[in-house]
Amino acid sequence: MRAFVAMRNLVLNPPVNEVKELENRFKELKEYVEDVFKDYNDINEDTRIQLELINQSLAELQAKKKEMDKPRIPIGYQAIEERRKNEK
């Protein structure tokens, strides 16, 4: 009778190879982690490019500001009279 019950249990619930099951779970987890880090690295690359563009734009703006900060020659009638007075 015990042998019959044991055989029935084996047929209904086949033995599970726990090592194989753990290996499969480990492979799935490894693939998931690789996908996550791949996406993370893609974001970092995009962010790096955007930061470089921002830095380049800021450098251009600073160069323009230096050019605009240079003293300008005043224009108009009063400026001409002041220049003539300073020359004499």
Q: What is the pLDDT of residues 65-79, one digit of tens each?
A: 777 777 777 676 666
What is each CA distance from 44 to 1, 32, 41, 58, in whole angstroms?
66, 19, 5, 21
Average pLDDT over residues 79-83: 71
**pTM, full prediction:** 0.37
Average pLDDT over residues 24-43: 83
Average pLDDT over residues 9-32: 84
Average pLDDT over residues 80-85: 73
Residue 47 and residue 78: Cα distance in Å, rounded? 53
The predicted structure's pLDDT at residue 64: 82
